[in-house]
Structure 1
Amino acid sequence: MAILKSYCVCLRESTPKFLRPNLYDNYRRRNAKWKSPQAAVIPCTHLPMRSFEVKNRTSPEDIKSLRLITVIKTPYLPDGRFDLEAYDDLVNMQIENGAEAVIVGGTTGEGQLMSWDEHIMLIGHTVNCFGGSVKVIGNTGSNSTREAIHATEQGFAVGMHAALHINPYYGKTSVEGLISHFDSVLPMGPTIIYNVPSRTGQDIPPHIINTLAESPNLAGIKECVGNDRIEQYTGNGMVVWSGNDDQCHDARWSHGATGVISVTSNLVPSLCENSCLEVKNTALNAKLLPLIEWLFQEPNPVGLNTALAQLGVVRPVFRLPYVPLPFEKRVEFVNLVKEIGRENFVGKKEVQVLDDDDFILVGRY
């Protein structure tokens, strides 16, 4: 009993004593002068996954020289997993027909429907299989700065040559917030900034890009606002790629764009190369415009997914919320292929209309 009593005394004596808060300190904290959040941003001086020994490390100058960049489609198996065999065939077709780089997990590649594990795996797979033949640009942007930093660290760690970064969407931020967001990822490696207000709901104005251009890692801008905006940049010697397939020919030949980051090149890479890179060809551009208009009648990548399935180069599998274009639009695509020439499109199978029942819609993936 004496031992137990002694133990209880020890417990009481070891119990921490909480002091009453100092009321003056609380008052001081509540009434302290507010400081800009910018002052609290910690520079990315330590990037644990960054390595200068990565075999595919490249320079921003190498990225600036790229002209035809394809935002590659991600094909699926019937259960919704990646179809890597079909994916490899797609990338090979791009390389064989003049594409100089691919963007992995972009909007067209449905990065927004991937987990980050899937995303980084596909970037690493593309680097390992094709990194010696084509530049691999990973879409590692996010509306969360934390996620953008982490994904970009991982992307460079698995060997991607450059990163594509969008401005924070939906939960938009201030001008100072935009600059801080991009400043957090630019130190990691060559970077393309992607401006597409129709998807983000917020434009990245030129004065922000001019500020960010002080970073040696800014390779250029993928600009979707239009050719007048492109000329604002190219007039100052900045590298810009057109993000609009219907405007890319004029952007290249009349407004100084370096090239195009293209959706249409998934289907007709050799024609896109001829139209945008080889020589000014207004006749070929006019020939492609009906196909481009068809592709974008619904939000990308609905049209592209449908077209590639009709060409037989991917399985007709859609990850929801994307669904195929309706039957009459699929008939229109068959006619477009005949007009342009089947030999100009990827794949070797005959183009088909496909029935509604041929498509598989996957909600759990």
Structure 2
Amino acid sequence: MLVVAKQNNIVLLATARLFFPVYKLMPPYVAVSGRNATWRLPKAAIIPNFHLPMRSFEVKNRTSTEDIKSLRLITAIKTPYLPDGRFDLEAYDALVNMQIENGAEGVIVGGTTGEGQLMSWDEHIMLIGHTVNCFGGSIKVIGNTGSNSTREAVHATEQGFAVGMHAALHINPYYGKTSMEGLVSHFGSVLPMGPTIIYNVPSRTGQDIQPRVIHTLAQSANLAGVKECVGNDRVAQYTDKGIVVWSGNDDQCHDSRWDYGATGVISVTSNLVPGLMRELIFRGKNPSLNSKLMPLIDWLFHEPNPIGLNTALAQLGVVRPVFRLPYVPLPLVKRVEFVNLVKQLGRENFVGEKDVEVLGDDDFIFVARY
């Protein structure tokens, strides 16, 4: 037997001894019972964006999408740790300051390089807020608030903008994946909140964001551009149509910038040599400098990022040699190689002031619970 009743603007459906509340249903209601009962589908009362109570339309202190589009050197910043696995904010602040002093215009907080995938959302939003509070007047803070869950992406993005980030970075849903139409709906759920960079890296997500998705999303005034890792032919497809692109591949960024129309790069290497990366991106074609940097870039990506970067910064004395698992340092032979690379490029071009050293296996701390 089915009974439908309305109490205090809540519709109750009763079957057997279970009651299911159904909220915000509009007439018509069916209030008959027995075998002759007929069911007419009620119309749901839908309030657009009702689930975004933190959303604000205050714009006087916001960064415009055009401001984000103009950034050329954005560093995907490393997150350092204390021996117990918590954030080392002193080392983090020093590293961000080095980026500012050497000409980086933006930082990605909690991206792949910053190990956002190993953070709780509380840690993630705290670090975004901390970066805005300390450095938001000197550098653009772009929070990685993407997720394979649209619900999480929406929630994290509204929180990120609430604590003051200037733009959001969003990856396409990974592992479970979805259709191209699903990608449009996923990104469309977060784009209205503020300036947004879409991040396409199929090697990590297992799915390429096809150009037709980006062309559809480009109708939104909040799409700042694309961090593109597929290659320079794809970069040209977008730049030819006026869509802003940042190279996501340090080894291709020189050509992306000067031959294919990319605005700049979202870089891992700039954690180590921000001044040289600025020169590469700002001062015109420089194939000689690009070739000079290539051995370092190849070394950094010998294993999946951020393993190489974590190892390098520890050997430079800029961060403690603490790794949140599953990341572990590069083997000893590669650690020796890095010291030689620093000598070849010149210690003065790298961040930090301590002498570079080869760390032994016992120098590293691995944290599984934090």
Query: TM-score, normalising length from structure 1?
Result: 0.89
Counterpart in the other structure of 2:335: 330
8 Å CA contact retained: 1:120, 1:151: yes
In the other structure, the counterpart of 1:255 is: 260
1:56 and 1:160 in contact (8 A); partners too: no
Matching residue within 229, 232, 240 for 2:234:
229
Distance 1:241 1:41, change over 3 A: farther
Aligned amino acid, residue 178 of structure 1: L
Tell me how far 1:44 sits from its aligned partner.
3.0
RMSD: 2.1
Q: Does 1:295 align with 2:300?
A: yes
Q: Is the 1:310–1:352 contact (alpha carbons within 8 Å) kept by the matching residues of 2?
A: yes
Which letter does structure 2 place at the counterpart of 1:130?
F
Identity %: 81
1:137 is paired with a residue of what secondary structure? strand
8 Å contact kept, 1:55–1:159: no
CA offset at residue 49 of structure 1? Answer: 1.3
**1:211-226 correspondence runs (5 A):** 211-226=216-231
Quick one: distance in 1 between partners of 2:361 and 2:178?
42
The aligned amino acid for 1:224 is: C
**CA–CA separation in structure 1 for the residues paired with 2:235 and 2:35:** 58
Q: Which structure has more RCO (C-alpha within 8 Å, separation ≥ 6)?
A: 1
Alignment check: 8 A CA contact 1:44 1:184 kept: no
Q: 3-state DSSP class of the match of 1:289?
A: helix
2:112 maps to which residue? 107
Give the match for residue 273 of structure 1. 278
SS of the residue corresponding to residue 232 of structure 1 reads helix
Q: Do the aligned residues in 1 keep the contact of 2:225 with 2:245 (CA within 8 Å)? A: yes
CA distance in 2, matches of 1:344, 1:313: 14
From the two aligned structures, give the one with the greater strand fraction: 2
Say which SS state the counterpart of residue 113 (structure 2) adopts. coil
Whether the aligned pair in 2 keeps the contact of 1:75 and 1:315 (CA below 8 Å) is: yes
Say which one has the larger Rg. Answer: 1
Secondary structure of 1:315's aligned partner: coil
Q: CA deviation at 1:271?
A: 0.2
Alignment of 1:148-163 (within 5 A): 148-163=153-168
Q: 1:185 aligns with which of 190, 210, 215?
A: 190
Deviations 1:92-129 (A, max 9, x none): 00000010000000000000000000000000000000
Hey, what does 1:304 align to over in structure 2? Answer: 309
CA distance in 2, matches of 1:350, 1:66: 32
Aligned position for 2:172 = 167
- Report the equivalent of 1:136: 141
What per-residue deviation string (whole Å, max 9, x for no partner) do you get for residues 263-288 of structure 1? 00000000000011222111000000
Q: Alpha carbons of 1:334 and 1:57: their partners in 2 closer, same or farther (altered >3 Å)?
A: same
Map of 1:204 onto structure 2:
209
Change (3 A) 1:105 1:56: farther
Q: What secondary structure does 2:219 align onto?
A: coil
SS at match of 1:70: strand
1:181-225 CA deviation, whole Å, 9 max, x = no partner? 000000000000000000000000101100000000000000000
Give the Cα separation in 2 of the matches to 1:246 and 1:17.
63
- Deviation track 1:239-271 (CA, whole Å, cap 9, x = no partner) reads 000000000000000000000000000000000
Q: 279, 291, 297: which is aligned to 1:286? A: 291
User: How many residue pairs are counted as aligned between the two chains?
Assistant: 340
- Tell me how far apart the structure 1 counterparts of residues 36 and 310 of structure 2 sit (CA, whole Å): 64
Once residues 311 and 115 of structure 1 are traced to their aligned partners in structure 2, the CA distance between those partners, rounded to angstroms, is 28
Question: Residues 188 and 358 of structure 1: is their aligned pair in 2 closer, same or farther, counting only changes over 3 Å?
Answer: same
Unaligned runs of 5+ residues in structure 2 are 1-13, 17-31
Structure 2 vs 1, CA of residues 227 and 45 (structure 1 numbering), >3 Å: closer, same or farther? Answer: farther
Partners of 2:305 and 2:94 lie apart in 1 by 21
For residues 34 and 117 of structure 2, the distance between their equivalents in structure 1, rounded to whole angstroms, comes to 47
